[in-house]
Structure 1
């Protein structure tokens, strides 16, 4: 019932809707309408009341509210099912545990994560109300070997959204990090389940430091936030919507013909590693190579000191800058 009230208020955002109209539209008493409005206000929706006028919905401050985001994604396939938590252990974990009954394109968001994870099981700091902690559940009809490429689709979508919204020189640290001024603002974790010839689901997790102003000891030297770099707070909802729209366009283009050309062009243009010496870490071994290019499949082409070139696959290794994070 509260969703129906929100729909009516969103359809008239900024204008009053009388209690009588809501009563007739929903088939409930005006007292019941008032009780539902009170609950919505307690949940963070900025609904104002006025005698003889009714109720009016104004834009919420920075709280992630599902109906507001859904209204900005109207007509898009990604986010037709949108789930927003106030707090959760991990949006990726929720996506994996519930993938069987979640539709393709479901978006999961949370104001905070209590057990956020990055690649190789590393903890990801996800404080409340500051960042974007988001997972996308995908069920594409593509070979399982192609599923890993959704990481770079997400990286391209996030990088482009940050650049377009803020003007910051965001770059992609292959394959799954976004950096600004040499420090990490975003990490991407892709997890997949399937059979020999079929993908059951892919969950693409995206963690972005948006309005963080401080970081835990141990990551403060390599992490930053968009607010720190931009100098003022960022509208998280607008960034979320830009990312989802970017991802949808790139993802659908890819799965229709398994052609990564558009994505690779973005990853190359905004690469933080092409032309640089990097440290390739595989288990306990490390070696220094120079990044030559990113090939049409999104893999890294590197050159060793003796001039020999090889292709590096994202699942095999981690990379760092020769003398630091990047």
Structure 2
């Protein structure tokens, strides 16, 4: 696997240019026949590669450390990057041994094959088509609310997408373009007894999925940046833009305990504000109108019978009747 990874890393560095297989063999210290065999293995595993008898190249950009770091400008977040060629889930990767990660570390992958979304939903990331990364947080204060942290991440993600496309936030953890999901967030925490050991903010973005990559059912609910822009998206400046904005929001929030900057943005970019929707929880459904986002990141709603409520649990699902949004 290590030699296959060496081949893949060399191709990442050369993108979008093709590499002669003989040169790739010299760079990795392998024979041309072994390199060719490994290239075919990568294609079988789903990596976006084009190969002929003499040359090979990536057909889509992948996460590459040097390129990503060149775009980073943060105080805390992303100073240490852990890039996996594949992992079941970046959140699970962190939570399996949280002690080895420091505050601000980021775990990333081009190939997440067993991702988990909110309420147990699956979130997959095919090589080159989607990206997944998790931000490790070990704050000194122990009163960090997951719903508020999720709103911070949603605001940072929306701002990070601005150079590529406009987006809206579907409370509590999805980004949408039009009425279709393009990205999602999963915030998880780990405790030992009553002590908070850390939090993990996982983010998945549909970058280069094509229309044919979605099932008929999903095509009406999900989209990708490639579909919206009609050209491939380089994940490296995009990830850096999200991390840069997350760092600004988070650093300011921890220092001042004032969440107003990102909460205001969540309200301004809300896909739910003033809409009549259905609140789903524990098998029950109630018609409601969304009236705003509270100072603690909660969703403010008014039910059809006039009762008002603040939804703070991430176990709520809010959507229009018979549709995602």
TM-score range, shorter chain: 0.7 to 0.9
| Change in 2 beyond 3 A, CA 1:196/1:131 | same
| Change in 2 beyond 3 A, CA 1:69/1:231 | same
Paired residue for 1:265? 264
What is the number of residues matched between the two proteins?
276
Paired residue for 2:102? 103
Mapped partners of 2:294, 2:29: distance in 1? 50
Mapped partners of 2:76, 2:220: distance in 1? 39
Mapped partners of 1:61, 1:122: distance in 2? 27
- 1:139 and 2:138 matched: yes
Mapped partners of 2:29, 2:171: distance in 1? 42
| Change in 2 beyond 3 A, CA 1:274/1:196 | farther
SS at match of 1:83: strand
Which of 173, 197, 200 is the equivalent residue of 2:197? 200
1:104/1:138 contact within 8 Å kept: yes
Deviations 1:258-302 (A, max 9, x none): 221011111011000010011111021111100011111111110
1:156/1:263 contact within 8 Å kept: yes
In the superposition, the TM-score normalised over structure 1's length comes to: 0.78
Shift of 1:86: 1.2
- 1:286 and 2:285 matched: yes
Mapped partners of 1:217, 1:135: distance in 2? 29
| Change in 2 beyond 3 A, CA 1:123/1:199 | same
Mapped partners of 1:64, 1:301: distance in 2? 38
- 1:39 and 2:56 matched: no
Mapped partners of 1:104, 1:118: distance in 2? 23
Shift of 1:182: 0.3
1:79/1:105 contact within 8 Å kept: yes
Paired residue for 1:219? 218
Mapped partners of 1:37, 1:144: distance in 2? 54
- 1:210 and 2:199 matched: no
Paired residue for 1:21? none
Structure number with bigger Rg = 1
Shift of 1:200: 0.7
Which of 175, 187, 207 is the equivalent residue of 2:172? 175
SS at match of 1:124: strand
Paired residue for 2:61? 62
Paired residue for 1:188? 185
1:78/1:248 contact within 8 Å kept: yes
Deviations 1:143-186 (A, max 9, x none): 245244211111000111112x12x3300000100000100001
SS at match of 1:293: strand
What value does the CA root-mean-square deviation take over the aligned residues?
2.5
- 1:303 and 2:292 matched: no
Shift of 1:132: 1.8
Structure 1 portions without partners, runs of 5+: 1-33, 45-59
Mapped partners of 1:102, 1:206: distance in 2? 17
Mapped partners of 1:35, 1:169: distance in 2? 39
Mapped partners of 2:241, 2:29: distance in 1? 26
- 1:322 and 2:311 matched: no
Mapped partners of 1:245, 1:106: distance in 2? 13
Mapped partners of 1:112, 1:240: distance in 2? 15
Higher relative contact order (CA 8 A, sep 6+): 2
In the superposition, the TM-score normalised over structure 2's length comes to: 0.79
| Change in 2 beyond 3 A, CA 1:248/1:325 | same
SS at match of 2:67: helix
